[in-house]
Amino acid sequence: MKVLEINHCNKKFGDNEVLKDISLSVSEGQVVSIIGPSGSGKSTLLRCATLLETMDGGDLVYMGEYAAKADAEGKAVYGDKEALKGIKQHFGLVFQNFNLFPHYSVIRNITEPPILIGKRPKEAVYAEARELLKKMGLADKENAYPHQLSGGQQQRVSIARALAMKPKILFFDEPTSALDPELTGEILKVIKDLAAEHMTMVIVTHEMAFARDVSNHVIFMDGGVIVEEGDPMEIINRPQQERTKAFLSRFRQ
């Protein structure tokens, strides 16, 4: 089953066309990594997919429901507020810089969204949150505050917070870019464990070996277009396009 479909996505900021006729789909249980140089449009594509930015043209579809549908001229027409609210329940997003509420404890950071937005029973949500913290290796940190945690711990809390909403698909926007190499390993292990559990994920990353090892599909973007995509081993180790080869030339296999 297709969890996400993006068809003919276009996006401009002023005269700068940052996404040009991008189409992709993500099936249930699939892990898709998006790689490419800075300014290639990776993060903008993720922001469009998660409704933080609006597309100028194209379709955005979750679980068969249209968040945005192209009209006769190709312009993206978005659903109403109530429809989009329902669609937002389908996905979770883990940011580069954690985005935890500094004045909330770890457990409150995780439980607030499913209680307030998901309208789920407090007792059940707290029990699930504690299980997620155990899974993240943070069972003893539920009453800590973000400033008392390392960057890797904060990112694991933000992953737990996203999972607490029970999303169909989880997006990661360069989840290790704010971390030093030692802490990066912590986060990559968590994502690998999720992949082993068949969590559907889209990951924007600069970690090439990770993209190769954890993904079912890799997309290389440059200049707002998809230059090359396919099997991770083929794209990372044996790219066909010259631009992909140039980008990956410094990657040590």
What's the pLDDT score for residue 2?
Answer: 95
**Structure confidence by residue, pLDDT tens digits, 4-34:** 999 999 999 999 999 999 999 999 999 999 9
At 166, list the tokens: 């029970």
The confidence score (pLDDT) of residue 252 equals: 52
User: What digits encode the pLDDT tens for the residues 76-86?
Assistant: 999 999 999 99
What per-residue confidence (pLDDT) applies to 97? 83
Is residue 140 scored above 90 in pLDDT?
A: yes
Provide the pLDDT for residue 182: 78
Q: Which class for 222: exposed (0-12), middle (13-18), buried (19 or more C-beta within 10 A)?
A: buried
pLDDT of residue 172: 95
Q: What is the mean pLDDT of residues 100-121?
A: 94
Q: DSSP characters for the chain?
A: -EEEEEEEEEEEETTEEEEEEEEEEEETT-EEEEE--TTSSHHHHHHHHTTSS--SEEEEEETTEEEEEE-TTSBEEEPPHHHHHHHHTTEEEE-TT----TTS-HHHHHHHHHHHTS---HHHHHHHHHHHHHHTT-GGGTT--GGGS-HHHHHHHHHHHHHHT--SEEEEESTTTTS-HHHHHHHHHHHHHHHHTT--EEEE-S-HHHHHHH-SEEEEEETTEEEEEE-HHHHHHS--SHHHHHHHTT---
pLDDT beyond 90 at 185: no
pLDDT-derived band at 179, boundaries 50, 70, 90: confident
